[in-house]
Each structure stands twice: as structure tokens, then as C-alpha cells.
Amino acid sequence: MIELKNVTKYFKTEGEKKYILKNVTLTIPSHVNLGILGRNGAGKSTLLRMLGGIDFPTVGTISSPNTFSWPMGLSGGFQGSMTGRQNVKFVCRIYGKTVKEINEVIEFVQEFAEIGHYFDMPIKFYSSGMKSRLSFGLSLAFDFDYLIIDETLSVGDENFKKKAKKALMKKIENSNVLLVSHSMSDLRNICDAGILIDDGKIFYYEDIEDAINAYHGINASLPMGQNNAPSSSAILCSDGKNFDTINIAANFYKVRPMSIVQALNENNGSNIYLKKVFWRDGQNKLPFQTWQNTIEKETIISSDGVIFVNALEASLFYMDRIPKANIDKMHVEEVMNKEDGISKKLNVKFYYLSEYK
Amino acid sequence: MKKRTSFSIFLSVVSALFLREVQTRFGTKKLGYLWAVIDPMVKVIVFSLMYLAVGTKMQGIDFPVFLATSFLTYNFFSAVMNNSMPAFDANRALFSYKQVKPIDTIFSRFFIEFLVMSATVIIFICFGLYFDLNLAVKDFNLVILSIIWFGIFGLSLGILFAIINTFYETFGKIINFTSMPLFLLSGLLYTVDSLPPIARDIILYNPIVHFIEMIHGNYFSVLNTDYVDYEYMIFWTIIPLFLGLLFYARAEKKIIAS
């Protein structure tokens, strides 16, 4: 369990305060694998360092009765002038391992990390991938309540990735993970719950899927040179209904949140699939209009309301969001050609936008 | 993993840092440790020859032995005090592990320098015996005590200076500045009672002089510790230590996070 009480964290740069967290109070329940999402610079790594005990809130406290690993990131937390072996020994010693245990750990890590004779060369000669593999392998040698992983699951070749996932899954039987990753499939496979860090606030979602949706929501609402509408205002629709959030609206109309976000950001609120107009509370309602971006022959619209530049973009979109369907990047093109646009795997029908009425 | 006491974590970390420092200093630059022997050796030879040329004599003492006791112990003190300042930066990568606290690095450097001095002393003893110098010690226990106290004095200044240096970088440069004058004004090359009274009074303001006098006075039977002011030495040890630890308690998190 992790308790954050009135946590504020800011950095002073050039006399100005840059806030990472503003007065956050939150309790993260025990036995939960947590995914941490947020835009670049939102403060994910800072949060991980605070949870790992090597950085501290400016105001407030973070407390937990559990043990945490060191934050595993691309730099690995190693001393550059020492060799891999010396670094492993050092970490073992500060955790109080006996000489026998140290030798066992060295054997295990050397074999796991697959860095060959680099193990006896100084860390400063390692690639970032090697450092990550070494750090990851080393962390597996200990039993922490929480393993803190900052985007290091994606290093290594296919074989290593498989080995790492397998080892991690085994670890999860007895430990929990705090994972920062930009791979939605990793987050879905490993994490139960998720938190989203945005603009100094932390939002906790019991289901990682909701956290991912919320993350896509803030990501998509990045303005293309327009005024950024506050994400806390209600969504209104031309059929008279209103909704608290994009997610709720999307659920109601049975489309993807991306469908509504696209309409709001790229088409002045007009959603082509639903033939309705959306706008945020406080802004002006505009009349319905057709798709204002260039409509090529390849432009595709899906039955869950999203418009894609071409079949490849559509495939990639769904590969990311429904990994269990196990499609490849040619999938949407194939179903357009052979199945009349109906994808059984995704449970979605695709149309060419130029033909859609 | 079982919960360990703070102290046992401290011991694990200091010994891990100690071993790592031994590995890096011995490992990559093998000349590193040789310098610890060569530096005082050269100084002993040079100053002995100088004094021989000038004709100064110390009654009842082999002057090279006198110099060796000065330089070996002063180098220990000076190394502890000066090497503490860059200790935080040199070990910064290791602060990723929350068990490693900045002050642990200062303690581990203290033990390293103690080890270096001990090894150098042994080598000097061998040289001394070979050249048939008079190595007789008057009060061995007190000599050891004085050296350890001298080291602790260096440690307390080291902690304080390291923290000041973290926040005010020029401080380190100021301290470097003082190293030459201190060398001449610390009673390394002469005894206090050989100085004219006015010089004597002034030089006794330097706490280092008291430590050196204490070591000399307890080592050589013809010398004494009359000028050693124990109270003064205690103040100089405890007050910087108190200030250093006080500042450290408040600054630790800032040092780790920077």
C-alpha cells in the first residue's frame, strides 16, 4: 500500500516554480500492479524516484510499509567507472547479502543479461540496452514488494524480451510492479490498475483500460494550434444530450472516445459516423459539416466512429488497442478487399469514407 | 526481505563503498597508492637534505623520523578533510539506491585514508629499520590515540566542508588555497618551543599544531606535550562535527535529489 498525503513537488528553474504534483492525496491499495501513464515531462519518473526513496516531495509525505526496488530506468543507476561485476557486487553488499549469495547473484545476472565479456568492463562502455538488461537482471535477484520499472521492458532482442517477460511474470506472483511504459500491450498484460499524471494531478483507475483511455483522451486533445479547451467541461451534443466526459459520451453512442476527440479537434465537432455535432460546454455549437480534411480514395471510417488516413493507419491503431486480436498491419487492407470491410477479429466494419453515406 | 536496523544498513553501505573504492583506486590506477608512499618519502628526503645543508639539528632525534611522523599523519588528516568535499559528486550515481546516503561516502573515505596511512607507515618502518634510524617510541598507546583523534578531527571538518562545498562551490577552491600556508604553519618541520615567543603564541591558534605536537610529544622521549591544549582540540573537534551533522540532517535530501 502506498499513501500520498498532500504531496506537492516542484522544481525551481530560473526562479520559476515548475509543478510536477500539486497537493495530491491518494492511497494506492496493496497487491495491485500499477501502470503509470502521462505525457512526456508529466512527472512519471519523478514519481517513481519518490516511491523508490531517492527523491522527496517538496511538501507532504509519501509513506508505505513495503519494500521498493531502485527505480530501473535506462541509465540503470550504475557507477560508470565500475565494471558490471563490481556494480552487481556493490548492490548485493548494500542489501546485506552474504558472500555465497553474492556469487550466486553474479552467476545469475551474468547469464540473464547476456552482455558477454562486457560484464567485466566499465559500465560507461555499455549501450543503454546493456545497462537496462543488467539492471533488470539484477533486480530479479532480490525480492521486493514493489518492482519499479521505468520503460525498460522494451530493451533487447525478441529472445531477451520473451525471457524478461517470463521472468517478470514469475516475479509478479510474489511482488507487484509499478510500470511506466508507452507500450499499451505491456500495460494491459502486466498491470491491473493505472494512474494518470497530468498537470500536477494524479487520477487513479481501478482498471488499467480506463487509465489507457484517459491517457489517449488527454493526448488527443493536444491542440493543433488552437486554444486548449479545459478537459473538465461537459460535452454537449446536437441531439440535446450532455455528458460529463468524452468517455461517457463515447460509451453512450457506442463509438470509441477517439471518434469524438477527432471530431472535436479536427472537424469542428462534427462526427461523421454518428452524423452529430459535439462541442464543449462554454463553446459555440457549429452546424454539421462533412469531413474537412482531404478525403483520399484510401480514407477509411470504422464502425466505431474513427477516421483513418489509410488501411495501414487503421491496422496500427487496432494493433495497439486490441492486441489480443493478434492482427498484423495488413489486416484492415485485407478485410477491405476480401471481406467487404468486415473484420471478425476486431468486431468492426470498415468503409471507404468517400463511399460512406 | 527482512528489515535491517539502520546501523546494519550503514555498515553494509560503508563497507561496500570501501571495497569499491579499494577496487577502483587499486585497480585502474595502480600508481594511485604508490603516490601515497612517494609523496611523504620525497618530502622527508628533500627537507632532511635542506636542514642538513643549513645545519639545524634536533637533539636526540633522527630528523627524518621526526619529519616522517609529521608528514604521514598530516597527510592522513589532510586527505580525510580534502577528499570529503568531492565525495558526494564522485558517488552520485550510487545515490539511486536509497540505502546509500551521502554521509556514508565520507565515512568510507575516512577508512580508506586510514588504510592508506597504515600501509605507508609499515613501508616507512621498513625503510627506517634498513637505514638504521632511531625509531624508538616513548608512549605507543598515546601516539595511536593522537593519530585517531587527529583523523576524527579531519572527519568532522570533512563533513562540514563537504556540505558547505555542495552549496557554495568556491568554498572548495578557498580550502585548496590554504593548503600551502597550512603546511608551513602546522608545526610539521619544527617544534613549537623552538620558535620565538611571539611566533609561538600565534601559531598555537592553529588547531593542527596541537595535534602534531601531541603526536611528536608522545613519540619522542626528548619532546613533551607542554604546549598541547586539549580543551582547544576538543572544541575544534566537537563544534565542526556538531555543525556538520546539524547541516547534514537538513541538507541530506537536497544533496541526494540534486
The predicted-structure confidence for B92-131, as pLDDT tens digits, reads as follows 888 888 899 999 999 999 999 999 999 899 999 999 999 9
pLDDT score recorded for residue B246 = 96
**Whether A54 and B256 lie within 8 Å, measured CB to CB:** yes
Same domain for A230 and A309?
no
Same domain for A183 and A225?
no
Least confidently predicted of B49-53, B69-73, B236-240: B49-53
Average pLDDT, chain B: 90
Contact B85, B162 (CB under 8 A): yes
Cell 520499472 -> residue: A149
Q: Which of A212, A230, A261 is the last residue of a domain?
A: A212
Top residue of A10, A51, A62, A79 to mutate, by most chain B CBs within 10 Å, is A79
Question: Angle at Cα B146 formed by Cα B145 and Cα B150, nearest 5°?
Answer: 120
Residue at A258 is within a domain: yes
Residue at A295 is within a domain: no
Q: Which of A192, A212, A232 is the last residue of a domain?
A: A212
Residue at A7 is within a domain: yes
Q: Give the residue ranges of DSSP H helices in A254-354.
A: 257-266, 311-321, 331-338
Residue at A293 is within a domain: no
Residue at A291 is within a domain: no
CA of B18: which chain A residue's CA is closest?
A: A90
pTM: 0.73
Top residue of B98, B101, B105, B252 to mutate, by most chain A CBs within 10 Å, is B98
Instruction: Tell me how far CA of residue A114 lies from CA of A108, A128, B47, B200, B217, in angstroms.
Output: 10, 14, 56, 67, 61
Q: Residue B65 and residue B48: Cα distance in Å, rounded? A: 10
Q: Residue B36 and residue A265: Cα distance in Å, rounded? A: 69
Of B28, B100, B253, nearest to A94 by CB-CB distance is: B100
Residue at A160 is within a domain: yes
Same domain for A158 and A81?
yes
Residues of the domain holding A94? 2-212
Contact A179, A149 (CB under 8 A): yes
pLDDT over 90 (residue B141)? yes
Least confidently predicted of A30-34, B30-34, B191-195, B207-211: B30-34
Q: Residue A230 and residue B224: Cα distance in Å, rounded? A: 82
What is the residue extent of each domain of chain B?
6-257
Domain count, chain A: 3
How many Cβ atoms sit within 10 Å of the Cβ of residue B32?
Answer: 13
Same domain for A198 and A225?
no
Same domain for A267 and A198?
no
Q: Which of B107, B78, B75, B77 is nearest to B91 (CA)?
A: B107
What are the per-10-residue average pLDDT scores of chain A (357 residues)? 91 83 89 89 86 88 89 73 90 92 93 90 86 87 89 77 86 89 85 89 87 77 43 78 86 89 86 90 81 83 90 88 86 90 91 84
pLDDT score recorded for residue A89 = 93
The confidence band for B48, taking pLDDT boundaries of 50, 70 and 90, is confident
Same domain for A193 and A306?
no
Residue at A288 is within a domain: no
Residues whose CB falls within 8 Å of the CB of residue A27, separated by 6 or more in sequence, listed in order: A1, A2, A3, A4
Same domain for A45 and A63?
yes
Same domain for A160 and A261?
no
**Whether A54 and B8 lie within 8 Å, measured CB to CB:** no
CATH code: domain of residue A40: 3.40.50.300
CA of B258: which chain A residue's CA is closest?
A: A55
Same domain for A226 and A204?
no
Same domain for A181 and A326?
no
Chain B positions touching A94 (Cβ under 8 A) are 9, 12-13, 16, 97, 99-100
Q: Which of A161, A194, A212 is the last residue of a domain?
A: A212
Residue at A127 is within a domain: yes
Q: Residue A271 and residue A284: Cα distance in Å, rounded? A: 16
Strands (E), chain A: 2-13, 16-28, 34-38, 59-63, 146-150, 176-180, 193-198, 201-205, 235-237, 242-243, 270-271, 276-280, 300-302, 307-308, 342-343, 348-352
**Whether A94 and B13 lie within 8 Å, measured CB to CB:** yes
Same domain for A199 and A236?
no
